Amino acid sequence: MRESHGLHLKTYLFIFFIAIFAPLGNTLLGKGMRSVGQVRDFSPAALVETLIRVINSGYIWLGIASLLAFFVAYMLVLTWADYSFVQPASSFSYAVVAILSYWLLGEVVTPLRWLGILVICLGVLIVGRTHPRTTEESARA
Amino acid sequence: MRESVLLFLIIVAGTGGELCVTRAMKAIGEVTDFRPMALLRFIAQAVRVGWMWLGVGLMALAFFSLLAMLSIENVSFVVPVTALHYVAGTIGAVLFLKERITRQRWIGVLVVCLGVTIVWLSRH
């Protein structure tokens, strides 16, 4: 029982990291790509030119750093929890990305979009009430 | 058309990459020691697993597709749209990782998808 409680606690802590770092990374990438400009031309020369502009953007590097932090947390949590649990449970990041895109990028978040986010959170709560691991090892734990 | 191709790459390559990485991580086993040296040993173990490299390659493809998509559309639109991962990911977890998905978890995933769809519809 205590082991199961500890497993849940550890899992939720890492899902918290995932829900913060992933949207922060995406928002910073979005800010960076706005400064880079739209990718309209997919010819090799144009892509190389775009890549150079991407590499020179500080926001892109900050976004990559944030996504790397997300990736480490994600890899670690997947060593003990099911993919099918972690993936939906980390969808709190939708709420965070809406807040960050409003604050940092000035994007309009409509009431309908917030309703969608609330429904996502409800889904997350339903998923969160299931055991993090459903494979044979957890059955013995 | 351009957005559809980018979205397809984000979903398929992203989900495929995550499944490959998950398979690699399951092969390594649960992480119980979080000291720096132990984590370095863990990373050294991870890079020796073939699934990890395939997964990272697919995730890189998804990442560059995401960058291209973010240059065209708003972040608050792009991120919810990529939630098609939930359908692909859960089906992949069943088929590829042999995870057992309970009815309650399926319901949760479906509700999450519904919410994401509403967010997507809010674009217009």
pTM of the shown model: 0.71
Residues in contact with B102: Cβ distance below 8 Å, sequence separation at least 6, in sequence order: A130, A134
Task: Give the pLDDT confidence score for residue A78 in this predicted structure.
Answer: 83
Nearest to A119 among B28, B68, B118 (CB): B118
Task: Give the pLDDT confidence score for residue A87 in this predicted structure.
Answer: 65
Task: Give the pLDDT confidence score for residue A61 in this predicted structure.
Answer: 94
Residues 83-102 of A with CB under 8 A from B: 83-85, 87-88, 91, 93-94, 97-98, 100-102
Domain count, chain B: 1
Has residue B5 got a pLDDT over 50? yes
Over residues B10-22, mean pLDDT: 87
* Shortest distance, CA B95 to any CA of chain A (angstroms): 12
Nearest to A78 among B22, B100, B121 (CB): B22
Q: Do B79 and A23 touch (CB under 8 A)?
A: yes
Has residue B73 got a pLDDT over 80? yes
Over residues B72-78, mean pLDDT: 84
CA nearest neighbour of A72 among A131, A141, A25: A25
Has residue B81 got a pLDDT over 80? no
Domain boundaries, chain A: 2-140
Task: Give the pLDDT confidence score for residue A136 in this predicted structure.
Answer: 52
Residues 36-55 of B with CB under 8 A from A: 46
Task: Give the pLDDT confidence score for residue A139 in this predicted structure.
Answer: 43
Mean pLDDT by 10 residues, chain A (141 residues): 68 87 92 84 82 89 93 84 71 83 88 84 72 53 39
Cα distances (angstroms) measured from residue B21 to each of A71, A131, B44, B107: 10, 21, 14, 25
Q: Do B30 and A85 touch (CB under 8 A)?
A: no
State the ipTM, two decimals: 0.70
C-alpha to C-alpha distance for A74 and B17, rounded to whole angstroms: 13
Interface test with A, best of B34, B71, B110, B116 (most A CBs within 10 A): B71
DSSP state, residue A130: S
Task: Give the pLDDT confidence score for residue A69 in this predicted structure.
Answer: 92
Nearest to B79 among A97, A102, A123 (CB): A97
Determine the structural domain holding residue B40 and report its residue range: 2-121
Task: Give the pLDDT confidence score for residue A62 in this predicted structure.
Answer: 95
Over residues B89-108, mean pLDDT: 79
Q: Do B80 and A107 touch (CB under 8 A)?
A: no
C-alpha to C-alpha distance for B77 and A91, rounded to whole angstroms: 15
Has residue B10 got a pLDDT over 80? yes
Nearest to B79 among A26, A88, A115 (CB): A26
Contact A95, A117 (CB under 8 A): yes
Task: Give the pLDDT confidence score for residue B58 in this predicted structure.
Answer: 94
Task: Give the pLDDT confidence score for residue A72 in this predicted structure.
Answer: 87
- Please report residues of B whose CB lies closer than 8 A to that of A79: 25-26, 28-31
